[in-house]
Amino acid sequence: MIDGLKRRLSDALRRYRHREEIQQIRTSPLFVAEEYRARLGGLRGDPAAHYFLHGEAANVPPSEGFDPGYYRASNPDVAASCVSLLLHFQQHGRAEGRAGTGPVAASQLASGPSVVPAEAIELIASAPDFDVDAYSRLTGKTFNASEAALHYLTEGEAADLAPSAQFQPRYYRARYPDVAATGVNLYLHFIKHGREEGRSGVPMSALQDRALEKLNPDRETVILVVHETSRTGAPILGLNLLMKLKSQWGLNVIVISWRGGGDIEQAFVEESDLFISPPSKDVLSRFDMDLIATRLVQVAKPRYCIANSAVAHDVALSLTVHGVPTVGLVHEFATLFHATTALRDYFKHIGAVVFPTEIVRESAVRVYPFLEDRPTYILPQGKCTLPAQHSGGVRASVASGPADLMKWGETDRTFTVAGLGTVEWRKGVDLFLSSAASFRARFPDVPCRFVWIGDPGGHSDEMLMYLGEQKLRSDLAGSVLMLPATADLEGVYQSIDVLYVSSRLDPLPNVAIDAMSAGIPVVSFDKATGVADALRTEPELAFLIAPYADAHTAAGIIHQLASDPAKAERTQFLLRDLAARMFDMDSYVTRIDKIARDLAPSGVAP
């Protein structure tokens, strides 16, 4: 009994310590809960937790796509060092060319019709995209659906005959070596698992030819790469670049998104001449990107490419290798990336690198010293126009954020300090709360409310717990409000008196540019963001900069603004003037266009 209790306590502790890994397993396309339960005879409780705690060690497969026993035996270096074999394969092993399952005898299907399972024939024959007539033409024979399915299973796939316009076995084999290594019939895998897992049955380049033919031949074509289409800083800047390139330069603009799905994806689709993206939440592979780059160079002959984030370095590097002059806009601190060979190659071979501020450039040079010896540019981005809210984007209930903000507090015009952004460690939400506590303790007679607006980031459960405890133990219930993200940022700007950028690292947030343009004082930390660099150019605004991560001093700055209306008004005037001079989108796009054209005056290299 005591041993059983100890075992349960040990499991509970491991479950808590590794809750992030268990959540990753739970959402992995390689973990199929129903299959896992069935293998264990109807498991009760959380199957993902059971797999992490017991199943993997017992070599119980989480799905047909992964065999932990085979992976452990084939990769002793991994088995000796990783927390979870499944997560290693998903995050690293597949990209490194490791197989997730051992080869199985594929000779069943090649041995003759008598051993082909009837279920397999029926699955293919009834598949909505299985084209019996087109397949019959490929073979030169006449089949009904069942006969065509049988032929494909026994002969067609081995000969790389396509059973559908949505599936090419040669592509699927090359694109997904983890599936090919199992020896299963590829089209059956696609029907049963692959499509649901977000795998593609045909090269993305094959889906773009018709759209490429519609490009205006009298206009130059350029490519804009974004890492995703979420309603966040870099994608919103990317959308503004797209609109300017279209409206002011009259260009054909092809947009490539590295990650599929996103709140403002529809806006990119509507504004661009061609939008290329993988299925929702999937990412473009180097394999697909090389095919796409080859086709774009052949047909569209792009003048240049703008890569609007180092996160999409694989996409930009593929275009660079294919001869497209490419400008990389680097909005991220290099220390936030794992130093990889791909990222190093990106910085080495891309045509030009543009940073928004000197602090971001310094971070990149520290990680990649060779950047010191190549030309780089410092260009603060312009003020962005916020995209309209499309259905399926930011949830409708969130739009009430500004209204909730105005209703909350003693009066509608209580002095209001806002923080904006994802609730995560980098954004310094804990420092925001510390400043609120400092303000309340030091200036109890000055009415002031602190409001954070933003949704939790990934793996944020533990942080949310600690923030909740910090708010409770600092007695902030009456002076701090946490609201979900909102698409109505203009409504927020009209409702606040100070924007507090409490980030530990944040290159040059769009919300800070928006706030300064509206004359809203922006308080930030020195050496943490490009906001401080911008404020320092105007001596009278330097008081808005607190020492790095100094929440106490930041609270004092906020108090100056709350208690001195004349100083606040002067600050508002100076900020509007500074923003108008420094953050001009037309000038920003003009400079980037010139940098790109100077890379190769004649366009794509022959």
Kindly report the three-state secondary structure assignment for every residue of 136-170: HHHHCCCCCHHHHHHHHHHHHCCCCCCCECCECHH
In this predicted model, what pLDDT tens digit does every residue of 401-422 receive, in sequence order?
455 555 444 445 689 999 999 8
Which tokens go with 350?
């891309």
In this predicted model, what pLDDT tens digit does every residue of 38-81 receive, in sequence order?
777 667 778 888 888 888 887 888 887 888 887 887 777 777 77
pLDDT of residue 112: 46
Question: Which carries the bigger pLDDT value, residue 6 or residue 92?
Answer: 92
- Does the pLDDT at position 595 exceed 70? yes
- Does the pLDDT at position 333 exceed 80? yes
Characterize 572-587 residue by residue with b for buried, 16 or more Cβ atoms within 10 angstroms of its Cβ, and e for exposed: bebbeebbeebbbbee
Please give the CATH number for the structural domain made up of 205-378: 3.40.50.2000
pLDDT of residue 329: 94
pLDDT mean over 188-193: 90
Q: Is the dihedral of CA 14, 20, 26, 31 positive or negative?
A: negative
List all residues 6 or more positions away from 585 whose beta carbon is below 8 Å from its beta carbon: 240, 244, 381, 382, 383, 384
pLDDT of residue 113: 47
Edge-to-edge, what's the strand order for the sheet holding 305-307?
274-276, 252-257, 221-226, 305-307, 326-329, 352-355, 376-378
**Mean pLDDT score across all residues of the chain:** 84
The C-alpha atoms of residue 172 and residue 166 are separated, in whole angstroms, by 11
Backbone angles phi, psi at 500, to 5 degrees: -110, 105
pLDDT of residue 378: 94
- Does the pLDDT at position 371 exceed 50? yes
Domain residue ranges in the chain: 2-93, 107-192, 205-378, 397-583
pTM above 0.75, yes or no: no
Are 63 and 90 a contacting pair, CB within 8 Å? no
Which is nearest to 484 in space by CA: 424, 399, 416? 399
The C-alpha atoms of residue 17 and residue 3 are separated, in whole angstroms, by 21
Are 135 and 148 a contacting pair, CB within 8 Å? yes
Return left, alpha or beta for 112; rule: phi > 0 is left, psi -120 to 50 is alpha, else beta. left
The C-alpha atoms of residue 375 and residue 361 are separated, in whole angstroms, by 11
Are 315 and 307 a contacting pair, CB within 8 Å? yes
- Does the pLDDT at position 228 exceed 80? yes
Q: Is 397-583 in the same CATH topology as 205-378? A: yes
Angle between helices 510-517 and 233-247 (to 10 degrees): 70
Edge-to-edge, what's the strand order for the sheet holding 522-525?
480-483, 448-453, 415-420, 498-501, 522-525, 545-546
In this predicted model, what pLDDT tens digit does every residue of 426-474 receive, in sequence order?
999 999 999 999 999 999 999 999 999 998 876 677 888 889 899 999 9
Q: Which fold has domain 397-583?
A: Rossmann fold (3.40.50)
- Does the pLDDT at position 561 exceed 80? yes
List all residues 6 or more positions away from 399 whose beta carbon is below 8 Å from its beta carbon: 389, 486, 487, 488
